[in-house]
Amino acid sequence: MDYQKLGLKSGLEIHQQLDTHKLFCECPSEIRTDKPDIIVKRELRPLAGEVGKIDPAALFEKKKRKFYIYEAYSDTTCLVELDEEPPHEINPDALEIGLLIAKMLHCEIPDVIQVMRKTVVDGSNTSGFQRTALIATNGYLETSFGKVRVATVCLEEDSARRTAETPESVTFRLDRLGIPLVEIATEPDCKTPEQVKEAAEKIGSLLRSTGKVIRGIGTIRQDVNVSITGHPRIELKGVQELPQMPKIVEIEVQRQAEAIKSGGKLEGHVRNVKEDLSSKFLRPMPGAARMYPETDIPLVTIDKEKLAKAKLPEALESREKRFVKLGLSADLAKQVVKDVRLPFIESLLTKFQTANPNTLVSTFLSVEGEVKRKTGKEIKFTNEQFESIFDLLDEDKIVKESLLDIFIGLSKGESSSDVAKKFAKLSDAELKKEIEKIKKEHKELQLDKLIGIAMGKLRGKATAEKIIGLLKSKT
């Protein structure tokens, strides 16, 4: 397809959850799968917005006439999520992370921010609106196809998550409601489907480099805006995987081209991406009338001096290069920067200078799987356990050949100090004595047989090279 001729304009709207407590209360940002102990039933009403207009998206939802069931937990949700208490002041940690991200996107930060209420009557917010604030404008990001301008960065509360639906009601769980989200909206500067994907990747990598975003399924959501010449803007929701993005854009471009050909009135609207990557109508495009000030939260003045001093996190690409310089293999370095546990892995690499970084990282990444293969036991080791074992390795008290056995020992509930004793490395003198003993006992055997016996007996107490070296030596 000739996207230039079609006049493709595409932009992104990316929502990323931040790794801190909720935006307007002190509840943890914790998604739960156990049975909720609070059930509340509510209705929502369509209302006039700030400038006296009723929002078309709000009316559309109300016509469906539903009531809403909210599920909550006494220990991780409070009256704020239940819309039974006014919001607390904005979570300063979330604001700081949001502003840092804006700074990384070369944005301009306003002097003062005002939290708004965005009317939402699909029930996903108990209050009937989502709290959101514009925290930055006018930034950009570089792609190999050219600059993509960042229109706005907003800080907002995540909505409740839909867990069930009947003809009369929709059920939402309040665990997600209020988790801080940073919303990055680009200008429609992407000219090809591939550029959309690259821009999304770049933003994702930038967000992860902060180490302060929540990772995992559902923690980042990306919407794509698509329009070609002669067709109003369409918003595509529910893009799950980045590799699918070019295909999704391509299918939408085709749909728009056909819609133009078949004539009739074209209107901008929101569509939901289906499993086959095509999309279906979701709702009309929300109008600007749906926003009015959140009067329960005072204006927030931004501390510009503090922001100027804030250090930007190192980009993942630059970290990858640095890891290679530290001695990590290129493959492992690539894998590490994508890993959820990057901050911990990075701390291992700075903490342990003597041990081979490849041994540390590959053990950290794979030992749980290997233990499971050997013992059939599903196990998660703690960061402290990893650190204590790597400490021994770094101090040359154990050898890398014993690592798997040591972790198997830990998986059986043995303490780090006990397994350390069991697999303590032999001193050179002790090792020599053991080797001499083996040689004496098996005078008749060839070297390769001797190696087999010695390795079996001394495995995990000395390195293989050392054992073989001593067996080969005459004395």
Q: Which is nearer to another protein, 8 or 109 (CB)?
A: 109
Which residue reads 């067709």 in tokens? 231
Backbone φ, ψ for residue 271 (5° rounding): -125, 150
CB of 49 to another protein, least distance (A): 9
Q: Is 60 in the site for another protein (CB under 8 A)?
A: no
SS3 222: strand
Q: Which is nearer to another protein, 55 or 401 (CB)?
A: 55
Q: Is 288 in the site for another protein (CB under 8 A)?
A: yes
Can you state the angle between helices 357-375 and 330-338, rounded to 10 degrees? Answer: 70
Q: Is 176 in the site for another protein (CB under 8 A)?
A: no
CB contact at 8 A, 420 and 402: no
Strand partners, 220: 16
Residues numbered 292 to 311 that lie near another protein (CB under 8 A) are 292-293, 295, 298-299
Q: How far apart are alpha carbons 14 and 204 in whole angstroms?
A: 9
Q: How far apart are alpha carbons 109 and 106 in whole angstroms?
A: 10
CB of 411 to another protein, least distance (A): 46
Which residue reads 């920067």 in tokens? 337
Q: How far apart are alpha carbons 51 and 115 in whole angstroms?
A: 17
Q: How far apart are alpha carbons 318 and 309 in whole angstroms?
A: 21
Q: Is 41 in the site for another protein (CB under 8 A)?
A: yes
CB contact at 8 A, 108 and 307: no
Q: Which of 6, 148, 154, 371 binds another protein (CB under 8 A)?
A: 154
Q: Which is nearer to another protein, 120 or 181 (CB)?
A: 120
x-or-dash string of contact with another protein, 115-144, rule CB under 8 A: -xxxxxx----xxxx--xxx--xx------
Q: Is 290 in the site for another protein (CB under 8 A)?
A: yes
Count residues near another protein (CB under 8 A).
Answer: 54
In 3D space, the residue among 64, 144, 116 whose CA is nearest the CA of residue 294 turns out to be: 116
The one segment of 113-121, 239-247, 322-330, 374-382 that binds another protein by CB under 8 A: 113-121
Q: Which of 5, 33, 112, 308 binds another protein (CB under 8 A)?
A: 112
Q: Is 233 in the site for another protein (CB under 8 A)?
A: no
**Cβ within 8 Å of residue 422, ≥6 positions away:** 409
Residues numbered 381 to 410 that lie near another protein (CB under 8 A) are none
* Residues forming the site for another protein (CB under 8 A): 40-48, 50-53, 58, 67, 79, 82-86, 108, 110-114, 116-121, 126-129, 132-134, 137-138, 152, 154, 287-293, 295, 298-299
